[in-house]
């Protein structure tokens, strides 16, 4: 097994186990945690069927344990890392502490809608060979307002057609929307600790390379986008894109040899263009350092004619913004 992916030991086969483990990693997001917990507890089938536990990565700016006490009323477990370990190692702790047959990693600032657990349980009951099941997701802002909806992947719920190639060309799965069989993590290991962003994307591709994946058409997961989210924190330095590039390089080994190069080119071109779009947004607010970092990463990802043309247009746009900003009032 890859030494960068934590080994997940099996649960004692003689012990009583719930069907579900809802593991909630947190770090400086206590302000949202109550909403997260309430969205799970509203669907709680009871402790015999569902483990619910918050795993905090040694937050120092807020108090998630008090939220767990207030909202969980003894129903929700709490574990605090003795020191900050980072997102992938905190995920590893979540997986190691999980006891259920199905594991749902739900970030402490995200939520699920009514019917999430029932719908995804039906997926595993209907098709026991699947390794994971995910649903369509709603993107929300810091205030909880809907700002976008993920595209419909296929018209009907069921096995995702062409799952490996589709999941490798674009990150289509936000963590709160997916449930994975625990024995899949036991076989493949946890998230790759070389990644601080896109560690989830690499994991989903790894799973799809070995198991069928189910897609649920109903939008039952809410993914919160805000400046303090893991991705948001890395945009100004363009680490979001540099880790995306690293994830693509890592999962290339799991792709069919005959298609790997083409899939990787497509993925890198797509995220180079995404970086250029981000750079344009940063230029509009005159954050030139962050924009330059995004454009540099775009060029490292791809030098296709389309990317080079887009990069040139963004650079000229940036020069125009800079010139306007330099004019005397």
DSSP characters for 47-116? TTTEEEEEEE---SSS-HHHHHHHHHTTSSEEEE-SS---HHHHHHHHHHH--SSEEEE--TT-EE-TTH
User: Has residue 235 got a pLDDT over 60?
Assistant: yes
Q: Measuring CA to CA, which residue among 110, 89, 233, 219 is closest to residue 157?
A: 219
Contacts 24+ apart (CB under 8 A), 149-156: 149/219, 150/174, 150/177, 150/219, 152/217, 153/215, 153/217, 154/215, 154/217, 155/217, 156/217
Predicted local distance difference test score (pLDDT) of residue 226:
73
Residue 78's CB is within 10 A of a number of other CB atoms, namely: 17
- Cα torsion angle, 7, 13, 19, 23, sign: negative
Q: Residue 229: pLDDT above 70?
A: no
Average pLDDT of the chain, as a whole number: 94
Residue 118 has pLDDT above 60, yes or no: yes
Beta strand 50-56 pairing with 77-80: parallel
pLDDT of residue 325: 56
Q: For 145-161, what is the mean pLDDT?
A: 97
CA angle 170, 127, 76 (to 5 degrees): 75
Q: Is the pLDDT of residue 209 over 90?
A: yes
Q: 260-284 vs 305-326: helix axis angle to the nearest 10?
A: 10
Q: How far apart are CA 202 and CA 20, in angstroms?
A: 23
pLDDT at 306 over 60: yes
pLDDT of residue 249: 98
As beta bridge partners, residue 225 has none
pLDDT of residue 329: 47
Cα–Cα distance between 325 and 166 in angstroms, integer? 42
Cβ-based neighbours of 135, under 8 Å, separated by 6 or more: 116, 119, 120, 177, 215, 216, 217, 218, 219, 220, 221
CA distance 62 to 110: 17
Task: Report the distance separating Cα 131 and Cα 215, nearest Å.
Answer: 12
User: Residue 67 pLDDT > 80, yes or no?
Assistant: yes
pLDDT for residue 171: 96
Q: Nearest-CA neighbor of 207 among 258, 153, 163, 265?
A: 163
pLDDT (average), residues 188-216 = 97
Residue 320's pLDDT band, with cuts at 50, 70 and 90, is confident
Q: And the tokens for 195?
A: 């990644």
Q: What tokens appear for 83 in the block?
A: 């020191």
Mean pLDDT of the region 78-98: 97
Q: How confident is the model at residue 262 (pLDDT cuts 50, 70, 90)?
A: very high
Average pLDDT over residues 3-14: 95
Q: How far is CA 297 from the centre of its chain?
A: 21
Q: For 128-137, what is each residue's pLDDT tens digit?
A: 999 999 999 9
Q: Which domains does the chain have, with CATH numbers?
A: 20-232 (3.90.550.10), 235-321 (no CATH)
Per-residue pLDDT for 318 more than 90?
A: no
pTM beyond 0.85: the answer is yes
* Percent of the chain clearing pLDDT 70 (strictly above): 95
Can you give the pLDDT at residue 326?
52
Q: What is the average pLDDT across 212-231?
A: 87
Strands 132-140 and 213-224: parallel
Higher pLDDT: 329 or 249? It is 249
> Is the confidence at residue 228, as pLDDT, over 70?
no
């Amino acid at each position: 097994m890859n030494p960068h992916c934590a080994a997940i030991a099996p649960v004692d086969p003689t012990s009583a186990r719930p069907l579900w483990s809802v593991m909630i990693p947190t770090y400086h997001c206590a302000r949202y945690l109550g909403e997260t917990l309430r969205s799970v507890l509203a669907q709680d089938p009871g402790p015999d069927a569902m483990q619910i536990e918050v795993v905090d990565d040694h937050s120092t700016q807020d108090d998630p344990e008090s939220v767990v006490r207030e909202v969980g009323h003894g129903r929700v477990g709490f574990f605090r890392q003795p020191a900050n370990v980072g997102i992938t190692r905190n995920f590893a702790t979540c997986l190691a502490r999980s006891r259920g047959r199905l594991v749902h990693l739900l970030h402490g600032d995200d939520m699920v809608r009514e019917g999430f657990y029932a719908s995804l349980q039906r997926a595993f009951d209907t098709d026991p060979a699947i390794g994971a099941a995910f649903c369509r997701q709603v993107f929300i802002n810091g205030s909880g307002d809907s700002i976008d909806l993920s595209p419909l992947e296929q018209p009907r719920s069921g096995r995702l057609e062409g799952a490996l190639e589709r999941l490798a060309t674009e990150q289509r799965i936000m963590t709160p929307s997916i449930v994975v069989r625990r024995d899949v993590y036991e076989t493949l290991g946890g998230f790759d600790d070389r990644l601080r962003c896109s560690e989830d994307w690499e994991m989903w591709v790894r799973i799809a390379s070995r198991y069928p994946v189910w897609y649920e058409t109903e939008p039952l997961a809410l993914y919160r986008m805000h400046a303090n989210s893991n991705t948001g924190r890395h945009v100004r330095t363009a680490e979001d894109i540099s880790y995306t590039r690293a994830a693509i390089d890592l999962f290339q080994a799991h792709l069919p040899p005959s298609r790997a190069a083409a899939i990787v080119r497509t993925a890198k071109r797509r995220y180079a263009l995404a970086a250029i779009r981000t750079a344009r947004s940063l230029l509009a607010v005159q954050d030139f350092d962050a924009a330059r970092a995004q454009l540099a990463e775009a060029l490292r990802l791809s030098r296709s004619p389309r990317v080079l043309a887009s990069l040139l247009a963004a650079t000229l746009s940036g020069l125009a913004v800079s010139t306007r900003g330099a004019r005397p009032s």
